[in-house]
Amino acid sequence: MIEDAGPAGWTVERAVTELLDRETGRRAGGRLTDRWTELDLPTAYRVQDALVRRKVESGETIVGVKLGLTSRAKQERMGIASPLTAWLTDVMVLPEGEPIPLGSLIHPRVEPEIVFVLGERLAGPGVTAASALSAVAAVHAGFEVIDSRYTDFSFALPDVVADNASSSRFLVSASGLPPERLDLAAEECRLAIDGKVVDRATGAAVQGHPAEALALAANALSERGIALEAGWTVLTGGLTDAVFAEPGRHISAAFTHLGSLTVTGA
């Protein structure tokens, strides 16, 4: 659209094409904000929405949303203090037991997450952690596989928002628990590589409580007229820093009550 054109000829659609070309071509590149210096946060979310629209037009189905940069560990690693939201589609689902398809990805990293499956529609504004939690049908253990389309995962906030927050794949444990049976702030996750624990965190790492992250998503999305739908999956954000997937490397997350998950790069 002509009105989108920035001084260097950038448009929302051009940015989408650039990011999707990198994804399909397995090619990371420089920050958009280095070349499209006017790319601000509202425009970056327009890029993100247009990007997922292209995926839907090509046959993918939206199955939920994710939060990113909700924990201090992630914020410090990425040098960005603001949480963000992004889209999940069915093509991103990694069935339990299937390897991370390293040959299709750029430089995937894996991070453990607490995952909600919604039983009811959740629409902001005004959603609190308590009202958010009452919309949750089940809580699961999960892994997100992130695969930034930027070289060395180096980005500013508008870059990562435009890139659908590095979304690539995600894995959710088969069985979940009702939220009222859990103390999610105290739920601990131990992250291990090839059996050796490399990091640990509790649910409190995510905005003080994962339900705060869910409320944050509902309220932030409502500003764009979007509600979280019943049945959707919500990834609440990496509990710990992410670790690189490598051929044959077994990455495991053992939660106190949510069970254990393992993924392997192949």
In the list ligand 0L1, Mg ion, none, the entry touching 51 (Cβ below 5 to 8 angstroms by class) is: none
The yes or no reply on residue 111 touching ligand 0L1 (CB under 6 A) is yes
CB-nearer residue toward Mg ion: 176 or 238: 238
**Position 69 contacts ligand 0L1 (CB under 6 A):** yes
Site residues for ligand 0L1, window 190-249 (CB under 6 A)?
237-238
Return the closest-CA partner of residue 213 out of 132, 140, 135.
Answer: 132
Kindly tell me the sign of the dihedral angle through the C-alpha atoms of 57, 60, 65, 67. Answer: negative
- Smallest gap, in angstroms, from Cβ of residue 161 to ligand 0L1? 9
Q: What are the C-alpha distances in Å from 207 to residues 12, 141, 155, 167, 191?
A: 31, 17, 22, 20, 19
Residue 83: closest CA among 100, 64, 68: 68
Residue 12: Cβ-neighbour burial (10 angstroms; 0-12, 13-18, 19+): buried
Two tokens, residue 144: 């997100």
CA gap 193, 167 in Å, rounded: 22
Does 45 engage in binding with ligand 0L1 (CB under 6 A)? no
166 binds ligand 0L1 (CB under 6 A): yes
Pairing of strands 196-202, 136-146: unpaired
Residue 78 interacts with ligand 0L1 (CB under 6 A): yes or no: yes
Kindly state the tokens that stand for 69. Answer: 């940069």
Decide: 159 and 179 in contact? Cβ < 8 Å.
no
Q: Which of Mg ion, ligand 0L1, none is residue 78 near (CB under 5 to 8 Å by kind)?
A: ligand 0L1
The interface partner of residue 170, options being Mg ion, ligand 0L1, none and the CB cut-off 5 to 8 Å by kind, is none
By CB under 6 A, which span of 8-16, 48-56, 141-149, 208-216 interacts with ligand 0L1?
141-149
Interaction between residue 108 and ligand 0L1 (CB under 6 A): no
Residue 69 interacts with which of ligand 0L1, Mg ion, none, CB < 5 to 8 Å by class: ligand 0L1
Between 23 and 144, CB nearer to Mg ion: 144
Nearest partner of 73 among 83, 88, 60, 86, judged by Cα: 83
Question: What residue is closest to ligand 0L1 based on CB?
Answer: 68
Site for ligand 0L1, rule CB under 6 A: 68-70, 74, 78, 111, 144, 146, 148, 153, 160, 165-166, 237-238
